[in-house]
Structure 1
Amino acid sequence: MDTSFRTLSRWTVWANERLYDACGALTNDEYFLPRVCAFGSIHRTLNHLLATDRIWLGRLTGEGHSIPSLDTELCADFVSLRAARSAEDRRIVSLVDEIVANGDLEGDLHYTSMDGKPQILPRRLVLSHLFLHHAHHRGQVHALLSQTKVPPPALDLTYFPRAAE
Structure 2
Amino acid sequence: MEHERYFEDYVLDHTRTTFGRTITESDFVVHAGHTGDFFPHHMDAEAMKSSQWGQRIAHGTLTFAIGIGLTATEINPLAFSYGYDRLRFPKPVFIGDTIHTQLRIARLEDDPKRLDHGRITEEVRVINQRDDVVLACDHIYLAKRRNPT
- Given the two structures, how large is their TM-score scaled by the length of structure 1? 0.27
Q: Which has the larger radius of gyration?
A: 2
Which has the larger share of strand?
A: 2
Which has the larger share of helix?
A: 1
- Given the two structures, how large is their TM-score scaled by the length of structure 2? 0.29
